[in-house]
Chain A
Amino acid sequence: MTPRPIAAAPAESLESVAFDAALSARIDEMLARYPTRRAAILPVLWLCQERFGWISPGVMRAVAERLGESPAFVEGIVTFYTMFYTSPPARYVLQVCTTLSCAVCGGRELVEHLKRRLGIGFGERTADGSFQLIGVQCLGACGGAPVVQINDDYYENLDAARLDAVLGELEGSR
């Protein structure tokens, strides 16, 4: 099984966002779980990120309006939490753990290998939009160090060869 690629909506399409009936119904489901509308902000942002691939200012405005918050408040939330993308991500986002257990168990070498292989640094994406590299803090899977999260999936006990195989598979799956 390979991770589902992210299909990020182009920025132009997200300048002004209206939720369709399906998404709106999911948002209503989330709202029903909490006594306040504000509490649904993280679930709603997650729904939006699943749908659009990232959270544009237009999405923030739409979420703010739906939840009765100011857009600035929503942007404060989006930027506090590291997992919301504020620019369109690549198809596959590689989040490499850089924290202690991973670092001492070969994580550092893995990072070097990835940067060389993809020709990009942390925070960058490959020219074809396939891969994006992010250095992250502890992923909570230290027993399987070193760990890389690709989109939603964890890959543990990695070394250069195993990672290459995974990347090869992802490149082939396009």
Chain B
Amino acid sequence: MPKLTIDGREVEVAAGTNLIEAARAAGVEIPYFCYHPYLRVVGQCRICMVEIEGQPRLAIACATPVAEGMKVKSETSARAKEAREAVMEFLLENHPLDCPVCDQAGECLLQDHSMTEQGRQFTSHMTDVRRTFPRLERRLLGPHIVQNQNRCIHCSRCIRFTQEVSETSALTYKWRGNGMYIDTFDGKPLDDPMSACVADVCPVGALTVREFRFRKRAWKLRSTPSICPGCSIGCNVWIDHHERAVYRFTPRENPEINATWTCDHGRFLARSLNDQAYLYPHRRVGSQLTRVSWGEAIAALAVDLKAGGRLRVVASPNLSNEELYLARELFGRQLRGELAVPVWAGEPRRMKNGRKEWLESTDAHPNSAGARRLGLELVDGDGLSRFLYGAADLTIVLDASVHPFLATQEALQLLRVGPSIAFARAEHPIANVAGWLLPMASLASDEGTFTSSTGAVQRFAPAFAPPGTVRRTPTGGMSPTVPTIASPWGPPGEARPVWQVLVALARALGVASLDFAGPAEVFAQLVKSEKAFAGLKWEKLEGARQGSFRERQHVG
């Protein structure tokens, strides 16, 4: 491993590492626009100029691999700083400088570097005509992407993304030189399954995500590491949230799974985490649902469960490993119930990892692999139907949204036959038949681990307490304007993650072996007792590299 110094700091990195990454490892930030760790190096923007001892000319850090004994000067090189200042001046010569009305503000590399790379004595020569692209100033490039070509700095990241990652080659430069712009072929929409990633890679406000634009200023957002619930691949995402509302998912780096990408399907599930139709536990009395407290609910349910009888539980591969374990132990082992985990195939999805290999999803759930590894029985729609046709004295549905079959008249009729308990979050017809309706918290308020289809056990963190007001995100066709969420700030609501309810039940039933304080403790038990989890450590599950590449670094 070559050893080198950058601004006097010694660092040892793997051979072949470029100077930008080596500097990052040494704690020196070298500015860049066109460089991206998961895209081909093109060396176009010229901002990453550094001085290397013994070389007469400045070098671009992105295209320079480390060498043993290399002495690199970045911040300490007057020449490099002067060159970068010139590059900033070139880039800003034609930039509209419309930061106050640009939604990228706060997470814009051009804005960031204008703070670090422009000297105090900077004088603008911007006195001549400014380049504009009259037809391309605010237009839909595809269903999710808004283009403002005036802000483009021609870094070609978006083009390289479509060529190297999504493999559609749907974007290209048109014409050349100063008048060159980004476009699709002959006005075709950019509508491939990963289209919105071009806005992630865009370092400026030239490409922005339509669904997020002007919903929230970037610096207001808090980010919590999580896992995309859209399919079994388990892409790592940040939940970007504010005042107990989710505003978006942004990809979180994981070279093994999703590099720094996420698909549009998963990305736009973010807002659905805000759906909270049920705020309190309810008990059906006649045809009416009556609000009860959690204490009353748990006590009453414990009595029902103790009564014995044939118990059947519809579990869910949307639940965490910890929740599935608790369900298996409590309902299966202790109460001798029957468990089934319905799996919905959903649409095929795929994702490209950091080695440019495609990963294919097996189904539409984030934890079907975890359910399988915990030895639970996975069933398809027909299996679920057969399961519900069987005789039972009590049915528990741990997640009403697990399978579309549960929303059919057929399923509802079957559930009407005997007593039932249903956990639900978004509005669901099961509320019309269930004897007990328990409000379930969203992924954003839950904590635990999912096992990806590749076998990686990945942890997600709770972003905020469950909201205290009812919220419904409109579903159906994509309207050109998505209504903003009314401020949900206020006392938290009473929806709870499934694990909390299961632990409370276990306690009420006097099952001492399941008396856990939280998911971390459940996980420790998993590590002890389950082969699939042997050797894992809760603290280390976030991955060493995760979050190290993060351009949108508002709040961590």
Chain A residues proximal to chain B, CB less than 8 Å: 57, 60-61, 69-76, 79-80
Contact = CB atoms under 8 A, between A and B. Distances in A.
A80 B175 contact: yes
A79 B174 CA distance: 6
Given A57-B185, A57-B186, A60-B185, A72 B175 contact: no
Given A57-B185, A70-B185, A71-B186, A76 B168 contact: no
Nearest to A80: B176
5 contacts: A61-B186, A71-B186, A72-B162, A72-B169, A80-B175
Interface string B519-555: 0000000000000000000000000000000000000
Contacts of B175: 79-80
A72 B184 contact: yes
Contacts of B469: none
A85 B172 CA distance: 18
A79 B183 CA distance: 12
Given A57-B185, A73-B169, A76-B172, 13 more contacts: A57-B186, A61-B186, A70-B168, A70-B185, A71-B185, A71-B186, A72-B171, A72-B184, A73-B172, A74-B185, A75-B172, A79-B176, A80-B176
Contacts of B184: 72
A60 B184 CA distance: 13
B174 A70 contact: no
Interface residues of B, number: 15
A56 to B, nearest CB: 9
A70 B172 CA distance: 10
B170 interface: yes
Q: Chain A contact residues: over half helix, strand or loop, or mixed? A: helix
Interface in B132-176: 162, 168-176
B176 A72 contact: no
A42 to B, nearest CB: 15
Interface of B: 162, 168-176, 183-186, 188
Nearest to A74: B185
B176 A75 contact: no
A70 B170 contact: yes
B192 to A, nearest CB: 11
Contacts of B168: 70
B185 A75 contact: yes
A60 B186 contact: yes
Contacts of A79: 174-176
Interface centre among A60, A61, A73, A76 (most CB of B within 10 A): A76
Contacts of B188: 71-72
A26 B373 CA distance: 59
Contacts of B185: 57, 60-61, 70-72, 74-75
Nearest to B176: A80
A168 to B, nearest CB: 35
Nearest to A69: B169
Q: Which 5 A-B pairs have the closest CB atoms?
A: A76-B172, A70-B169, A71-B185, A72-B185, A57-B186
Contacts of B172: 72-73, 75-76
A74 B183 CA distance: 12
A126 B185 CA distance: 30
Given A80-B175, A80-B176, A75 B186 contact: yes
A72 B175 CA distance: 12
Nearest to A57: B186
Nearest to A71: B185
Nearest to B168: A70
Given A60-B186, A70-B185, A75 B170 contact: no
Contacts of A69: 169
A109 B169 CA distance: 45
Interface centre among B173, B174, B176, B185 (most CB of A within 10 A): B185
B176 to A, nearest CB: 5
Contact of A80 (B162, B173, B183, B186): B173
B428 to A, nearest CB: 42
A69 B172 CA distance: 12
A61 B172 CA distance: 14
B169 A75 contact: no
Interface centre among B162, B172, B175 (most CB of A within 10 A): B172
B245 to A, nearest CB: 37
A72 to B, nearest CB: 4
Interface centre among A57, A70, A72, A75 (most CB of B within 10 A): A72
A73 B174 CA distance: 9
A36 B172 CA distance: 20
A59 B176 CA distance: 21
